């Protein structure tokens, strides 16, 4: 299947997705369950994401640049702890997601749950930092699938690669979506908290956007 234009998909389905429970302050039970687990790790008050690079270097990986059936090259590494998973499988999965040229800048790291929590934090199922995704490659105990986690984290990757001057799209959501979701008025009313990965995680529009993206290709 050829990759689809993200802009075209959002133009036709944005309002429906918001109504499905992925808006900043109103989410259905399944979205709430997924969002609570798909946590990014952050460092410092500015909301800069981080991945434990030392822990990543200590693991053994297989993979590298993989050419998907679309002809696109995707950088994927799979932990040796996941013998049944392959870089080719995940490169194909990523290439079939709704995406743009940001796919070429991605490095995806697929690991066991224990490894993900070493890399991202003790409660995380995945995390994102500056063109790098870390995701579990096996179902979580609560039933969350690796595909859900990868889609959510790829939503952060889309936002990271979008301009949203004067704010960061990874915190506020891409500009067109943030406008449709009325993020600025929500921030003024203290209903939304861009970049907040702590007590106001559920009102973080960056996370709401990632959930909207996760639902695009569900």
- Reported as a single tens digit per residue, the pLDDT across 149-206 is 999 999 999 999 999 899 999 999 999 999 999 999 999 999 999 988 888 888 899 9
Q: Is the same domain home to 101 and 133?
A: yes
* pLDDT > 70: percent of the chain: 78
Domain count, the chain: 2
36-40, 143-147, 167-171: least confident range: 36-40
Residue 72 domain boundaries: 47-139
Domain endpoint, select from 104, 139, 174: 139
- Residue 52 pLDDT more than 80? yes
In a domain, 115, yes or no: yes
Residue of higher predicted confidence among 191 and 48:
191
Q: What is the pLDDT of residues 53-102, one digit of tens each?
A: 888 888 999 999 999 999 999 999 999 999 999 999 999 999 999 999 99
Average pLDDT over residues 27-54: 46
In a domain, 85, yes or no: yes
Q: Please tell me the predicted confidence (pLDDT) of residue 100.
A: 96
Query: What's the rounded Cα separation, in Å, for the pair 101 and 118?
Result: 30
Contacts 24+ apart (CB under 8 A), 164-170: 167/194, 168/47, 168/194, 168/195, 170/49, 170/195, 170/206
Residue 18 pLDDT grade (very low, low, confident, very high; cuts 50, 70, 90): very low
In a domain, 121, yes or no: yes
Domain endpoint, select from 92, 124, 139: 139
In a domain, 129, yes or no: yes
Domain endpoint, select from 139, 171, 188: 139
Q: Is the same domain home to 124 and 178?
A: no
In a domain, 103, yes or no: yes
Q: Is the same domain home to 67 and 105?
A: yes
In a domain, 27, yes or no: no
In the three-class reduction of DSSP (H, G, I as helix; E, B as strand; rest coil), residue 62 is classed as: strand
91: tokens are 């490169």
* pLDDT > 90: percent of the chain: 65
Q: Is the same domain home to 63 and 128?
A: yes
In a domain, 153, yes or no: no
**Model confidence, pTM:** 0.80
> How many Cβ atoms sit within 10 Å of the Cβ of residue 69?
12
In a domain, 151, yes or no: no
Q: Please tell me the predicted confidence (pLDDT) of residue 49.
A: 55
């Amino acid at each position: 299947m050829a990759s689809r234009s993200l802009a075209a998909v959002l133009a036709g389905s944005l309002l429906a997705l918001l109504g499905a429970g992925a808006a900043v302050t109103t989410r259905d039970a399944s979205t709430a369950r997924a969002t609570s687990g798909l946590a990014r790790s952050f460092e410092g008050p500015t909301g800069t994401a981080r991945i434990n690079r030392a822990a990543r270097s200590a693991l053994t990986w297989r993979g590298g640049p993989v050419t998907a059936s679309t002809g696109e090259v995707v950088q994927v590494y799979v932990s040796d702890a996941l013998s049944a998973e392959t870089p080719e499988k995940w490169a194909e999965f990523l290439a079939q997601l709704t995406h743009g040229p940001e796919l070429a800048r991605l490095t995806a790291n697929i690991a066991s749950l224990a490894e993900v929590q070493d890399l991202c934090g003790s409660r995380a199922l995945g995390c994102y930092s500056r063109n790098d995704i870390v995701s579990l490659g096996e179902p979580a105990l609560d039933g969350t699938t690796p595909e859900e986690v990868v889609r959510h984290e790829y939503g952060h990757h889309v936002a990271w690669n979008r301009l949203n001057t004067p704010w960061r799209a990874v915190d506020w959501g891409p500009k067109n979506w943030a406008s449709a979701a009325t993020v600025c008025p929500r921030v003024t009313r203290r209903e939304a908290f861009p970049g907040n990965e702590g007590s106001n995680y559920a009102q973080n529009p960056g996370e709401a956007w990632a959930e909207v993206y996760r639902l695009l290709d569900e």
